Structure 1
Amino acid sequence: MPISPNQGSTGGGTLVTITGTNLSNTSAVTFGSKPATAVTNVSPTQVTAVSPSGTGSVGVTVTTPGGTSNPVPFFYVGAPFKSSLSESAGPLAGGNTITINGTGLSTATSVSFGGNTATPTVVSDTAITVAVPAGAAAGPVSVSVTTAGGTNNGLSYTYIDDPTITTITPTTGPTSGGTALTIVGTNFTSTESVTFDGVAGPFSVVNSTTLSVVTPPGTAGAADVVVTNPAGSATAAGGFTYVAGPGI
């Protein structure tokens, strides 16, 4: 007598389908010592029932006027617990794969990022990987994992849009570096690097639209300035010009 699914939440509420023979006029379905919270006699070969709360492995039996069936196993699964995300931010377009760590993840069937859902790959009971779906807008969303034991959330993931560069002030400085710059643009909160023709300069995030940067040493001439965050990069081609010092 097969039962599908054969596992569900410890809180109950799982709709299961029991297949067998002579199931007409089913009067009860029992999970261990507890009766199902709802029973529907679909046909002589099929009954549906809603599991009560429980723990561990229990035997499910069906009772008809002809007697009680042999038990088939049903496994109660606790709700998942998530402890961390391998990455807490990423591009608005999604597509990056992250790892979710926790416990009770072996039966994970979906992961929701705000209102968008993705199907995970189960690595073990303590880890799953998932390709992040595209976000609706930049900003934080809650992350929830659904397993046979239920749904749990509590972690946050932040969608980030590509940075943009509007102005750089000043636009010139010595080849020795050390020029203090202000870069104005957008989506700077999670800036990872600022480079001048590929050479990184120290920076600090003033706010989401402003960076304070110090130029590294460079070669005389125009240098491309690139601001990078987890979503992508913005380039100001020839945005800063290195000027050689006088020679005598």
Structure 2
Amino acid sequence: MPISPNQGSTGGGTPVTVTGTNLTGTSAVTFGTKPATNVVNVSPTEVTAVAPSGTGTVGVTVTTPGGTSNPAPFFYVGAPFKSTLSPTEGVTAGGNTVTITGTGLSTATSVSFGGVTAVPTVTSDSQLTVTVPVGAGPGPVPVSVTTAGGVNNGFSYTYVDDPTLDSLTPTSGPTTGGTAVTITGTNLTTTEEVTFGVNPAPFSVVNSTTVSAVTPAGAAGAVDVTITNAAGSDTAIGAFTYVAEPGI
């Protein structure tokens, strides 16, 4: 007497289909000692029902006017637990691979990124990988994993678009560095690096269109300014000019 699926959440609620013979007039489907709900006698060879809560492995039986069947095993599975997601950001176009670790992941059937689902590759009970689907736009989305034991939420993934660098204020400063520069552009929320020439600058993100940076020391002359995030980078050619101090 096959049961499909033959595993489900410890909290119950898993719809199952029982197939066999002489199932007409089914009056009850029992999981261990607990009766199933929503029992429907579809045909003489098929019954559907909703599993009650439970733990471990239980025998499932069907009762008809002719008696009670032999038990078929059903396995209760706990809800998954996620401990890490890496990386936590990527391009809006999707396509990159994310690794999720935790416990109870062996029966994972889908991973949702803001409501858009992808089919994972299960490596073990403690790890799976999944290709990130296309995002609706830049910004964070919730991530959930669905297994036979239920759904686990709690992670966030951030979709990122290429940054653009529109302007700098001021556009010059001393070779000793230390000039506070305001950079404006787009998609700057997830900025990972700002460089003046080849030298990285300390910076802070103000909002999605503004980054504040402090120039590092540099040689006299014009240098390119580059802003980078996980999606890519944008460079303003010769956008900042280092000015040598006067000498007498």
TM-score (ref. length: structure 2) = 0.88
Task: Report the Cα distance in structure 2 between the residues aligned to 1:207 and 1:45, rounded to whole angstroms.
Answer: 62
Counterpart residue number, 1:134: 134
Task: Report the Cα distance in structure 1 between the residues aligned to 2:198 and 2:20, rounded to whole angstroms.
Answer: 69
Task: Report the Cα distance in structure 2 between the residues aligned to 1:223 and 1:155, rounded to whole angstroms.
Answer: 40
Query: Which letter maps to 1:71?
Result: P
Task: Report the Cα distance in structure 1 between the residues aligned to 2:95 and 2:177, rounded to whole angstroms.
Answer: 38
Corresponding pairs, count:
248
Q: Find the residue that maps to 2:140 and give its secondary structure.
A: strand
Cα shift at 1:163? 1.6
Cα shift at 1:4? 0.9
Cα shift at 1:196? 3.3
Task: Report the Cα distance in structure 1 between the residues aligned to 2:198 and 2:107, rounded to whole angstroms.
Answer: 45
The question of 1:25 aligning with 2:18 is answered no
Counterpart residue number, 2:231: 231
Relative distance call for 1:200 and 1:31 in structure 2 (3 A) is same
After superposition, the C-alpha distances for 1:204-225 in whole angstroms (9 at most, x for unaligned) are: 3333332233334556654332
Counterpart residue number, 1:184: 184
The residue correspondences of 1:137-152 to structure 2 (distance < 5 A) are 137-152=137-152
Counterpart residue number, 1:164: 164
Counterpart residue number, 2:94: 94
Q: Unpaired segments of 5 or more residues in structure 1?
A: none
Task: Report the Cα distance in structure 2 between the residues aligned to 1:222 and 1:36, rounded to whole angstroms.
Answer: 76
Cα shift at 1:33? 0.9
The residue correspondences of 1:51-90 to structure 2 (distance < 5 A) are 51-90=51-90
Cα shift at 1:59? 0.5
Cα shift at 1:65? 2.3
The question of 1:203 aligning with 2:203 is answered yes
TM-score (ref. length: structure 1) = 0.88
After superposition, the C-alpha distances for 1:123-164 in whole angstroms (9 at most, x for unaligned) are: 222222222222223222221111111112122222233222
Query: Which letter maps to 1:133?
Result: P
Relative distance call for 1:166 and 1:133 in structure 2 (3 A) is same
Task: Report the Cα distance in structure 1 between the residues aligned to 2:164 and 2:60, rounded to whole angstroms.
Answer: 61
After superposition, the C-alpha distances for 1:45-65 in whole angstroms (9 at most, x for unaligned) are: 222221111111001112222
After superposition, the C-alpha distances for 1:77-97 in whole angstroms (9 at most, x for unaligned) are: 111222232233322222222
Query: Which letter maps to 2:238?
Result: G
Relative distance call for 1:39 and 1:207 in structure 2 (3 A) is closer
Task: Report the Cα distance in structure 1 between the residues aligned to 2:52 and 2:25, rounded to whole angstroms.
Answer: 21
Q: Find the residue that maps to 2:25 and give its secondary structure.
A: coil
**Percent of residue pairs identical:** 75
Q: Unpaired segments of 5 or more residues in structure 2?
A: none
Query: Which letter maps to 2:62?
Result: V
Counterpart residue number, 1:5: 5
Query: Which letter maps to 2:142?
Result: S
Task: Report the Cα distance in structure 2 between the residues aligned to 1:213 and 1:13, rounded to whole angstroms.
Answer: 54
